[in-house]
Amino acid sequence: MNLTAFLFRRLWQMIPTLLGVVLLVFLLFNWVGGDPAYVLAGKMANPEDIANIRHQLGIDRPMWEQLLIFIRQIVTGDFGNSWATREPVSEIFRTRLGPSLVLLIPMLLLETLVAVVVALIVSAVRGSVLDRTLMVTSTVVMSISLLVYIIVGQYVFASLLGWFPVKGWSDNLWRNLTTYAVLPVLLGLMVSIAPSVRLYRTFILDEIGQDYVRTARAKGLSEPRILLVHVLRNAAIPIVTNVLMGLPVLLTGAFLLERFFAIPGIGREIILAVERSDFPIIKAATVYVAVATLLANLLGDLLYRALDPRVHFE
């Protein structure tokens, strides 16, 4: 099957999956989420006020009509206005997604690079003191909550030492990357690198035990060449899969980091939306993540073919 036919088939297969997600999201928000009119009206509202709010939000219409409106919103990308601030949801995502990407893209790149390098090193000396020490350290690091790292990091590196600002953000990209995002990225890496190292080490050790590695050693190839050229390439598929699984998370931001460092990202906006039952924002975020997950899976299939020519489009 050629690439064009494969892409067409995969995109066609995404439609029923996306429809299932849309239906599930709609049912959850309409049956389980409760009536937002009571939340927005306040405790002192009378039945007339609640009825007016329900009419303004369109939740007094039949269920099938609300579902059609929701599908139209997804197709057009217009999820209406925020129920709390009346700001267009599309504008909220447009303005808040940038700070989240400035924070999370460097974190994802550094996490992948450092984790792969460390995993290669400990795999080459597996069973040594260095290997055991790093594995124990990774387990300890994984056992500590990100919230602890944030509180201690802000106190030590921001308040006590004054190396970084405690919180803040600006309109300048370079200043954000070099000033405001440095400490949040470092704290995020302290939590995310440990599980990635353990996982990538497992992938690499699985490949080291294969017959082709013993054959390469018998031919006299150096250990660095075996690891970097042969082992890493064969272990790249599960590594790429793990990295692609993290791509949809870029659309939801880093909730705790954005909240505690006052970063105006989409993660902080979603937390506020949950607190005030702002369903249009939550619905939009859920749909966007679902679409991003489907596209990430498609991208993974394409990368598998590039990494391993034995993989065929079927």
Residue, of 301 and 264, whose pLDDT is higher: 264
Q: For position 283, what pLDDT does the model report? A: 84
- CA gap 242, 304 in Å, rounded: 13
Residues 76 and 96: beta-carbon distance below 8 Å: no
Query: What's the confidence (pLDDT) of residue 40?
Result: 64
Identify the residue with better confidence: 230 or 201: 201
State the average pLDDT for the chain: 80
Question: Looking at beta carbons, which pairs linking 131-137 to residues 24 or more positions away fall under 8 Å?
Answer: 134/197, 135/198, 135/201, 137/194
**pLDDT surpasses 60 at 313:** no
**What ranges do the domains of the chain cover?**
3-76, 89-307
The full DSSP string for 271-305 is HHHHHTT-HHHHHHHHHHHHHHHHHHHHHHHHHHH
Q: What is the pLDDT of residues 18-51, one digit of tens each?
A: 888 888 888 777 766 556 666 666 655 667 767 7
Q: Is the pLDDT of residue 223 over 80?
A: no
Choose the CATH number for 89-307 among 1.10.3720.10, 2.40.30.10, 3.40.50.620, 1.10.10.10: 1.10.3720.10
Mind listing the pLDDT tens digit for each residue in 149-168? 888 888 888 888 888 888 88
Summarize pLDDT for 108-129 with one digit per residue, the tens: 889 889 988 888 888 887 878 8
Q: Which two tokens stand for residue 67?
A: 């579902």
Percent of the chain whose predicted confidence (pLDDT) is above 90? 0
CA 45 to chain centre: 39
Tell me what pLDDT residue 43 has: 59
What six digits make up the tokens of 5?
């036919």
Higher pLDDT, 204 or 42: 204
Neighbours of 167 (CB within 10 A): 15
What integer is the mean pLDDT of 136-159? 86
Does residue 242 register a pLDDT over 70? yes
